[in-house]
Structure 1
Amino acid sequence: MTQMPQSLHGLRVLVVDDEADIREFITVVLESHGMSVKAVASAAAAFEVLKPFQPDVLVCDIRMPGGSGYDLIRQIRDLEAKEGGHLPATAITAYQDEDWEESRKAGFEAHLHKFAQPIEWVETITQLAGQTSV
C-alpha cells in the first residue's frame, strides 16, 4: 500500500456531483487530508467556478442531469486549447458499466468508482496533481 503524505495542504480540488451526500462525503475525505475543496452540483456550476477557484484537480461525476461529466471535461479541454493550461481530471461514477476508454477519450486521465476505498480517491488525486508519496 502506498503511504500518503500527512498533509496535502494547498492542493485545490473541484468536486462535481449532483448527489449532495456524495459531494459532502468526498469533501470530508479530501479535507481530512488537508486539501481545499470546492464542491458543486452541476457541470454548469463547475464551469462557473473554474477560473475563480483555479483547482489543481477535477473530480467529476459522469452522469448528471443538465450536462454530463463528459460534456464538462470537453468544455474544459476546449478552453485549455484556446487559453493554455491543463487541469488534471478524474471521472467518478457509481456505475460498474461506465467505460474507462470513453472517459479517457473525453479528456479524463483517471476513472474512479464512488464505492472504492476513499484512500484510492486520495491516491489518484495526489498522483494527478503531481504530488509524490512519502
Structure 2
Amino acid sequence: MKTKHIRAYMKTAHAFAECSTAVRLNVGAIVVKDNRIISIGYNGMPSGWDNNCEMEIDQALKSKPEVLHAETNAIAKLARSPESGQGASMFITHSPCLDCAKLIYQSGITEVYYETEYRDSAGVDFLRKCEVGIHHLP
C-alpha cells in the first residue's frame, strides 16, 4: 500500500474517532479493501443507547462495561454488509486489545495499522502469532 494512502486512511480513522462521545479516550477504526473503505467504527455505546460512555467510580471516570470498542463496531458493521473482511486492512488510532485482536483475526483482516499503543501488548502479540501484519506508525 502506498505511503500517502496509509497516511490518508489513518487520518480518516482519527476523523471517525472524533465521532465518539467518550470522555476518557476516543478511538476510531476503518476497514479498507481494494483501496476502498468498507467499514468504519468508533468506541461508544450500543446503537440506540444513551451515549454516556463513562461512570464515576472512586472519583475517577471508568468506561461502562457495555461500551463497544472501535474495532468491534467496525467488524459488526462489516458483518451486516455485503463486504468481506477477508484480505482487508484495518487502520486504528490505538493498538487493539486482545478481545478485538481475536475478532480482527477471525474476520479475515490480514494487516493492522495503528499509532498509539494500548496499555498492554496482548492484542498485538496475538495478531503477530496469527501472522497478521502489524504496522506501528509514528
- TM-score class, shorter-chain normalisation, is 0.3 to 0.5
More helix by share: 1
Q: Which has the higher contact order (CA 8 A, sep 6+)?
A: 1
TM-score of the superposed pair, with normalisation by structure 1: 0.40
- Structure 1 or 2: more strand by fraction: 2
